[in-house]
Amino acid sequence: MLSKLGIDTIRTLVMDSVERAKSGHPGTAMALAPAMYAYWQFTMYYNPADPFWPGRDRFILSGGHASILLYATVFLARVKDIENGQVVDRPALTLEDLKNFRRFESRTPGHPEYGLTAGVEITTGPLGQGCSSAVGMAMAEKWLATHYGRPGFNLFGYHITSFCGDGDIMEGVSAEAASLAGHLKLGNLTWVYDSNAISIEGSTDVTFTEDVAMRFRSYGWHVLEVEDGNDVPAICEALKQGREETSRPTLIILRTVIGYGAPGKAGTASAHGEPLGMEELIGAKKAYGWPDDAPHFTVPDGVRERFEELAGRRGAKAQAEWEAQFAAYCAQYPKEGDELKHIFAGTLPEGWEKDLPVYPADEKGLASRQSSGEVLNAVAAQFPWLVGGAADLAPSTKTLIKGARSVQSPSNMVQEGAHYDGRNIHFGVREHGMAAICNGLALSGLRPFCAGFLIFSDYMKPAIRLAALMHLPVIYVFTHDSIGVGEDGPTHQPIEQLAQFRAMPGLTMLRPADANEVVESWRVAMQHRAGPVALALTRQNLPTLDRTRYASAAGVARGGYVLADCDGEPEILLMASGSEVSLVVGAYEKLTAEGVRARVVSMPSFDLFDSQDKAYRDSVLPPSVRKRVGVEMASGFGWDRYVGLDGTVMAMNSFGESGAAAELMAKFGFTVEAVYEQARQLLQRAD
């Protein structure tokens, strides 16, 4: 009876919150209340008094539209709040917060937001993202357990559980992530699939008739089925079996009725994304046996106490044991303990940058993807929890950590010596899944990077956007960044991608001009904790600039800097990013030889430059100098704010073509001579 009362309390809070908001998704939350109660009360190891405890189980509500289910549970479980990364002695959510569901500036937004509400492990909204990122969390737990495990210590035995629905399972990203999870035999991962056969357009029979159980068995998953979504003992048993199955991930197919209890809307699409209406709400409460005279938002005596008695005590006991074990571990293994403290705090290890290379001037130079690979390896040697890989492109993106083993289940026998604590992750041709998995890795304390050609970032953008929303320090290594790709043709030549990423709030985009700018770009990326960083790198060689003649590459940290200058105020400004910087430097030398006062500005990062104060920005781009040329082998969108109304942007206004890189650059006007001629035309134009 106590379980039923707790479940019905969740359901009524869900209905009341959505009805008061006049907006929301009550049906899924009503259907999943028994599973939520079973998981939190009888299965999960989580201490509401410390929602950041490193040894906790992770719960991911992938169907973020059902956020009120999580909020109601966080409220009932008395999860404490977090402020500036520290637990504070106040509740994460109050009853008033539930009453303010979906309202402006509430702590209970329409979809769960990481960092806003304690108890929310990840921002979920777009379907498929949450359960896919849960794969990254499971990989991180395996990595930590393997790398830091020692005899007699079990610091990382936590389990990751994601509630997902038909929409999540339909999304392609979840298929990518599930396939990799099955290959890696992630026995610390459970997806609870809410199979209610309803989507917004009606019955899933109109679009979704595949055998999900068979599909996941083919992935290598352990598949269980619970026919009654209200059967708490059966749900508990399935969750228990999923936890005990350590050799493969588990999918629990849970048959539920959306909007359970609503007399006219249960099992229908209208229960999905709109309030039930007062008549249906009253009817549902009556079906639960809720007192007719109980006011809205009633929490019966004993419900919250029951959460404390079961979930709270179990979690507190587990954390106390973990804390004692961690103290003993640090005493016996101080080096490893210190590393773990850095991981938990999200800080950099001492000396991480001590071996960063310095590149001498070299007219031939090297591709920035090549220098990036060298810098990555220099950093990785001092940064043990820097892990990552590519979507089957590590040889091309130069993102293999040399001397490190691969992330694999040791039972796969794919590569000798491979194990879960490898540092090279082979994501396969799964760009979207790769980006979502990296979000899970970052949320677990590891420092992930992932790589691909810049054009394929189109497949990754939804997960990158969530990384930016959550301020996660994921590093994206994008190579083949322009028409310099050459013969692969327009399908592989990025045009609009730089502009897209520069438009994304919270993402820092860097396009370095030579090997030393690559070094500084990695320095920025490693020190940046406020969000993700993307590097755009070349396939073709770039001259390494003579830094005794030109300015230090340390200017990269400010996004844009004066690379080459003149005496007095310049007559013209020449700006570029990446490979095109060497073109404007060549034009600068010709103009200077003719007595023209010219300035070269390297612009590796619009984001960083725009964040500088006005005095600095004006010192680099003096407002009085109106003759300006911006050069970039991509869409010119965004350059107008730097070149102004009187300047010119030399950019791509079409897709590229197939051919040798030098031929394409000549055809589309990206040569020293073309930049010089454009500058000359501006100089000859009357003010």
Query: Distance between CA atoms of 16 and 119, rounded to whole angstroms?
Result: 21
Ramachandran bin of 644, using left for φ above 0, alpha for ψ from -120 to 50, beta for the remaining angles: left
Query: Distance between CA atoms of 14 and 7, rounded to whole angstroms?
Result: 11
**Helices marked H in 43-171:** 67-76, 95-99, 129-148, 166-170
Radius of gyration for the chain, computed over Cα atoms and rounded to the nearest angstrom? 28
**Helices marked H in 111-197:** 129-148, 166-170, 172-184
Q: Which residue has the tokens 């056969």?
A: 197
Catalytic residue among 121, 141, 171, 431: 431
* Degrees to nearest 5, angle at CA 126 with 124 and 130: 40
Element (H, E) at 387: strand 386-390
Tally Cβ neighbours within 10 Å of residue 490.
15
The question of whether 431 is a catalytic residue gets the answer: yes
- Selection from 49, 41, 40, 47 nearest residue 90 by Cα: 49
Contact 47, 87 (CB under 8 A): no
Element (H, E) at 412: none
Query: Distance between CA atoms of 254 and 211, rounded to whole angstroms?
Result: 14
Tally Cβ neighbours within 10 Å of residue 117.
23
Buried residues in 186-211 as b, exposed as e (16+ CB within 10 A):
bbbbbbbbbbbebbeeeebeeeeeee
- Output the CA–CA distances (angstroms, integers) from residue 47 to 75, 343, 623, in the order listed: 14, 20, 57
Tell me which residues are annotated as active site: 431
